[in-house]
Amino acid sequence: MICAGIDAGSRAIKAVLYDTAAALVLTSGLADQGVEQERLATELFDKLLREAGLNRSQISGVIATGYGRNAIRFAGTTITEITCHARGVHHLAPDARTIIEIGGQDSKVIALEDGGRVRDFAMNDRCAAGTGRFLEMVASRLEMNWEKLSGLAQQSRQPALISNVCAVFAETEIIGLLASGKPLSDVVAGVQNAVATRVATLAGRVVAPPVYFTGGVALQAGMARALAEVLACPVSVVPQPQFTGALGAAVLAAERVA
């Protein structure tokens, strides 16, 4: 039996085809988000079907999640990204007790019970600080791409302190640090630390290990280290973290039609 998960995020649409018998992902892919969300999701879905040599009649269930999930009308149903990320991470790491998910426009801290059920969660969806959007804004301001930003952070010897928790004011602070001669690598590492600190504030004082990091920002080298430092515990990145929500949606679709 083959099921599909579609994660219509704020910055990208991700899709997964999941083989329930083998308990593995057949194929996955992503596309930049846009105004025509259903068309983009349909094109991505059909592309994955072609890659897997399947047609729609062979798909037993489709669940959509994420920011734009209600626009994906070919999905059988929708489920919140909190539930889907929890299910996806639990599938990959059954020992997970805390999930940190940092996406393009929000960040989440999810506490899990035994069996991967959501016990509690906190979300930042009102401020760019603590999200991928802040990192994108910094990369644009420094006229570099995401990969270069990530690489620079790895070169830092003394990360800069960025005290502003508002993304707009933090940008001004970053410009001031660079003007004063602070090395670019230290400023970028400071930005990562500022994002991590914002997420740690969201998490509160108690974060139960093991902690797993997911979402597109988990691909940014150095972010897991920054989170581990502010949380004072190890933070592991799940495999292909940008697809965790879509994977969780596909696994939930499989459980519903089993």
**Where is pLDDT greater, at 13 or 135?**
13
What's the pTM value of the predicted model, to 2 decimals?
A: 0.91
pLDDT bin (cut points 50, 70, 90) of residue 244 is very high
**Where is pLDDT greater, at 153 or 253?**
253
**Where is pLDDT greater, at 106 or 100?**
100
% the chain with pLDDT above 90: 55
Q: Give the closest residue to 23 by CA, choosing from 94, 117, 110.
A: 94
CA distance 245 to 90: 11
Q: In this predicted model, what pLDDT tens digit does every residue of 131-166 receive, in sequence order?
A: 778 888 888 878 887 777 777 878 888 888 887 666
Tokens 């910055």 belong to 11
- CATH superfamily, domain at 96-237: ATPase, nucleotide binding domain (3.30.420.40)
CA distance 248 to 225: 25
Within this chain, domains 1-93+241-258 and 96-237 share the same CATH topology: yes
| CA 20 to chain CA mean position, Å | 24
Q: Which two structure tokens, joined as six digits, stand for 247?
A: 């994977």
**Where is pLDDT greater, at 133 or 1?**
1
User: What confidence score (pLDDT) does residue 171 get?
Assistant: 77
The answer on pLDDT for 197 being more than 80 is yes
* Contacting residues for 13 by C-beta, under 8 A, at least 6 apart: 6, 7, 30, 31, 32, 33, 37, 40, 41, 44, 66, 68
CA distance 118 to 97: 9
User: What confidence score (pLDDT) does residue 247 get?
Assistant: 98
Q: Which two structure tokens, joined as six digits, stand for 201?
A: 């504030």
Q: Per mean pLDDT, which of 104-108, 245-249, 253-257 is the most reliable?
A: 245-249
Q: Where are the domains of the chain?
A: 1-93+241-258, 96-237
User: What confidence score (pLDDT) does residue 110 get?
Assistant: 95
Mean pLDDT, rounded, of the chain = 89
CA distance 245 to 30: 12
Q: In this predicted model, what pLDDT tens digit does every residue of 203-234 receive, in sequence order?
A: 876 689 999 999 989 998 889 999 999 999 99
CA distance 60 to 57: 8
| Mean pLDDT within 41-63 | 96
The third-level CATH classification (topology) of the domain covering 1-93+241-258 is Nucleotidyltransferase; domain 5 (3.30.420)
For 17, the enclosing helix (H) or strand (E) is: strand 12-19
User: What confidence score (pLDDT) does residue 203 get?
Assistant: 81
- Least confident range of 66-70, 147-151, 174-178: 147-151
User: What confidence score (pLDDT) does residue 59 get?
Assistant: 97
pLDDT bin (cut points 50, 70, 90) of residue 5 is very high
